[in-house]
Amino acid sequence: MVLGYGKDGLGKALLYRSQDLKTWSFLGIAAESDGTMGDMWECPDLFSLGSEGRHALIISPMNMGATKTMYLTGEFDYETGEFRYDIADRLDHGSDFYAPQTFLDGQGRRLLIGWMNMWGSAMPEQANGWAGAFSVPRELKLADDGTLRMLPVEELQQLRANHRHVDRMLLAADTELIISNLRGDVLELIAVFKTNPSIPAGEFGLKLRCSDDGKEYTEVAFEPRERKLKVDRTFSGEGNGGTCEAYLANAADGLVRLHLFLDRSSVELFANGGEKTMTNRIYPKADSLGIKVFTRVCEAELESLEVWDLNLKR
């Protein structure tokens, strides 16, 4: 059993052992903060992943600024209980992802579900007796470099209905284009953009849940020169605003793939095959349903855009 703990300003994961699940003995400290990873590790989850005996530890560190969840990967000694990690990074780069837990399914996949909200944040849904929501189920995979990837489980494709496709589109600088047949608040979108890191400045992306008067929207933007991915909730309606950011590696094919799930008050973004994820809650008005593509300063090339309604009644 792994327990979260904090003492002297250091988060720790404690390990206990039992033969009967009634009497427990302390085995030791599996891992602890190096002084930069929060002062308390909540909701620890330690498990093996991949075929090379690697293990991952997922934690929710307290008092670590914008970082709400982390993962550590390395080697675990079952005799001593020591977890020696060599990679430590943020698990999700959004503002509303906390306390994730994993399990193995019948196919041997390591699946994860997180809580979409944060203590201390505004929760407009509390007026109706709610405090957050669950994320979509995600499959964890270990990349060749030891980092984690999170992908939406493939079974979510069974919810797809009413598919729409947008062909390749060249966008001039400072363009904002609403796509008339793309509207909705419960959608799956896959947008593929071609990047050009040599441009001097600028960004491009999508605006989601747009109001007809243009005052409400949630912006998903990518800056090719800095490889910076952003989700901006400044004009997303009620609740907390602000911007969250992550950086993507250069893809060999020069493309940026943005896979998004909208579910009325949530936006879950999976970028470049789960290299980075960003999870956020939004609270726009019910009739803010538009979808736009945009450029700012630079030109851009939209390779394709796939959109499905999600049939949640199945």
Per-residue pLDDT reduced to its tens digit, 157-175: 999 999 999 999 999 999 9
> How many residues appear in the chain?
314
**199-257 pLDDT, tens per residue?**
778 999 999 999 999 999 999 999 999 999 999 999 999 999 999 999 999 888 889 99
**4-49 pLDDT, tens per residue?**
999 999 999 999 999 999 999 999 999 999 999 999 999 999 999 9
pLDDT over 90, % of the chain: 87
As a whole number of angstroms, the distance between CA 273 and CA 257 comes to: 7
What is the per-residue pLDDT for 314?
57
As a whole number of angstroms, the distance between CA 241 and CA 18 comes to: 46
Residue 227's contacts (CB-CB under 8 Å, 6 or more residues apart) are 197, 247, 248, 249, 250
Exposed e or buried b for every residue in 51-82, given b needs 16+ CB within 10 A? Answer: eeebbbbbbbbeebeebbbbbbbbebeeeebb
Pairing of strands 10-17, 25-32: antiparallel
User: Residue 50's pLDDT band (boundaries 50, 70, 90)?
Assistant: confident
Whole-prediction pTM value?
0.95
What is the per-residue pLDDT for 196?
80
